[in-house]
Chain A
Amino acid sequence: MRRALPPILVAIAALCVAMSPAAAQQTGASRLIAEARQAIEDFDAESAYRLLQRALDQGSDATQAERLRGLILLGISALMRSDGADRIGARQAFERALRLNPAYDLPDSLAGLHSDARVAFVEARQLVPLPVPAAAPVAVIPFAVELSLAADTTLPVQAGRFSVRVAPNRPAEVIAVVTPADVPTSILWADTQRIRGAGVHQWDLRSRSGDLVPEGRYAIRLRAVDSLNQVWGPVERIIAVSRVPADTAAHPAPLPRSAFRPETLTLRRGSPSVLLVGAGVGAAAFLLPTLGNPQLNTGASRDVTAVAVAGVASVAGIVGYLTGHRVRYSAENARANAELRRQHEARRAEIARSNRALIAAAPIRVRLER
């Protein structure tokens, strides 16, 4: 049967453990550094240097912070004991310290212990640059493009351009394509831009042939790709293109008949030849009996009916002349009418030409449907 140890023995064992070499060394490094710091304060650089070498020995169990402090004090004590000549030794000590903590900076309280301490530390700093601060974590923002089109705009035919403003939230390549709304495979116009911030696609309302597109509905499709190959779109907008009605002039009405001069003039008397015809017929009637055989008509009385017919014919000639009308062609009026027709046609042609020009120059209206 085992008996319990007496309390005095437990205390002795604990003291033995506390007095072991490992424990003495661990606590010694800190103490040595503190003694070295005190030695520096006392301008006993040689003692301080030796204490610090002991504290930083391979077997030392100094912590990283104690080792760092020890190396700094080592460099300072190297300068102090060589009266500044051992700057290489100081720099090496400082370099070792910075390798332990690259972000370490020499405080003025230590730099003021020797005038060359700061210079040696800067030289060491050049060998061990400051660490690059870690980049702040970037939040992953969805790729998006802000699109802006005029809802209803009127553009001039010449140099008129329909603008599509795009603003990606990060640099991107934006592609704009215009096709007829109902024929998406027929590309009329396309544009690709590398846009940072905001940019504008400007369609000149012309097809690839350079002609103005006819009135109708068109689709604008946009697609964007950023540097991370993230894709936005395609997004489609439908626009209606139409011509603003031109204020054309009405064609002049055909000339009424009353506008023309009569090309044939009716004269209020028959031709004088009518008198001759009447007289001729009368004479023929008067003389016709003489065509009979003279032998047969010898002794016969004058046929009064022939005289009557001759009289009737003569009177008819006079009546025909007085009551008749003549139609005479008027070359002067015909020329005037021809000139009137020519002027009318010229006016019609001028108005037609002017109207064509007005229609061709009529502005183009672009209306956003959706």
Chain B
Amino acid sequence: MSGRIPATLSFMLVAAATGAWAQTLELSGAVFNAQHRLLYQGSTSERSAVMIGGHGAVTLGRIGLSLSGFQGSLGEAGPASPETKVRITSVVLTIRTTPWLSLGPEAEARRFEADAGVTTWVMLGATARLSLAMGGGLRGFGEVSLFPVAEAKPVGETMSPAFRAAVGISFSSPSGFEARIGYRLDRFDFSGSATASRLEQFRGLVAGVGWRLRR
């Protein structure tokens, strides 16, 4: 942990503090069974990680603020893919335009820590979230985030396209218990010459449970 407070826990504290005036407060834990694929200099490597994270959100009227994050460790998959600790943190401000659609800006950061050093991706973009009622507490959800601004530091590489998408099913009980399961795909195409192109992708099952408190 290196003494740093995980972003998820930080957000939980913030969310709890802001919950005093929020109409809903949502806290959940999640698991991302991520499969990471990398194409670099013509060779493809694949490794996986079970990333643990959390999600918190507060809603006031039509405005929502959510913070989510995962962290985990990718195993070594060759010289180009050493063992790497990964931490993903994203902040989204959403406005519910319709009962089933929310839009808003998003900022996401990905920190990769390996023996060779630390690389951080900083991405700014927009998010669209759909939530469709299916009855019986079930809802179908879909989420697409596009990051026109995506840069890997300190090298300064840019990514295009860089996006994240997820679809799945959630269940919420009247008591506030929530569970969700979905499939997630993160795609990052680094710019460069065709031969020097670098393609990265995270995909896999995402599942989580939590509670939604309403007043």
Contacts and interface: CB of A to CB of B under 8 A. Distances in A.
A291 B185 contact: yes
A109 interface: no
Nearest to B46: A300
Interface in A271-292: 271, 274, 277-278, 280-281, 284-285, 288-289, 291-292
A226 B187 CA distance: 125
Q: Is the interface of B mostly helix, strand, loop or mixed?
A: strand
B167 A284 contact: yes
A3 B186 CA distance: 201
Given A281-B168, A295-B199, A305 B205 contact: yes
B80 interface: no
B211 interface: no
Given A300-B46, A312-B181, A321-B135, A281 B142 contact: yes
A270 B135 contact: yes
Interface in B86-145: 132-136, 138, 140-142
Interface stretch (B12-20, B31-39, B149-157): B31-39
Contacts of A316: 134, 138, 140, 169
Contacts of B203: 288-289, 292, 303, 306
A285 B135 contact: no
Interface in B180-215: 181-183, 185, 187, 189, 197, 199-201, 203-205
Given A293-B199, A309-B183, A278 B135 contact: no
Interface string A20-60: 00000000000000000000000000000000000000000
B24 interface: no
B172 interface: no
A313 B167 contact: yes
A308 B185 contact: no
Contacts of B132: 277, 281
A324 B201 contact: no
A325 B135 contact: yes
Contacts of A303: 35, 183, 203-204
B44 interface: yes
Interface string B165-185: 111110000000000011101
B168 A293 contact: no
Given A285-B183, A316-B169, 15 more contacts: A270-B135, A277-B132, A277-B134, A277-B140, A278-B140, A278-B169, A288-B165, A293-B199, A305-B205, A306-B183, A309-B181, A313-B168, A317-B134, A320-B136, A326-B135
Interface of B: 33, 35, 37-39, 44, 46, 132-136, 138, 140-142, 163, 165-169, 181-183, 185, 187, 189, 197, 199-201, 203-205
- Ranked nearest first, the 9 interchain pairs of A and B with the lowest CB-CB distance are A324-B135, A320-B134, A270-B135, A281-B140, A309-B183, A305-B205, A320-B135, A284-B167, A296-B199
